Amino acid sequence: MFGIGSTELLIILVVALIVIGPSKLPDIMRTLGKGMAEFRRMSTDVKSTLEAEVDRADREQRQAEAKKELYPEKAAEAAPAQPAATVAEAAPAGKQSPSA
């Protein structure tokens, strides 16, 4: 757990017992445990959502490639034409092209 050994954990608990006091320590530990459980739940949810989105994007890409292989003439028509880069887009950031 975070690279903390049993000796270090025991020292932290003793210091917490002295600083916080024996009456409030169980409540604080319970609150800390609930917070850690909620954090784990949220991180698992974010991870599963991210994996689902990556899978969806991969599936869409494979479908587009399959359509392109099956219907090459339609893929050429459906592809949007890329506009030519303007002078302002081609100029490096922070430098403006002379317009005068």
pLDDT per residue over 8-27, tens digit each?
888 988 888 888 888 888 89
Mean pLDDT of 55-70: 92
Closest CA to 13 of 22, 36, 34, 35: 22
Write down the pLDDT at residue 53: 96
Closest CA to 16 of 3, 6, 7, 29: 29
Q: 38 or 78, which is more confident?
A: 38
Q: 8 or 93, which is more confident?
A: 8
Cα(100)–Cα(90) distance, integer angstroms: 18
Write down the pLDDT at residue 56: 96
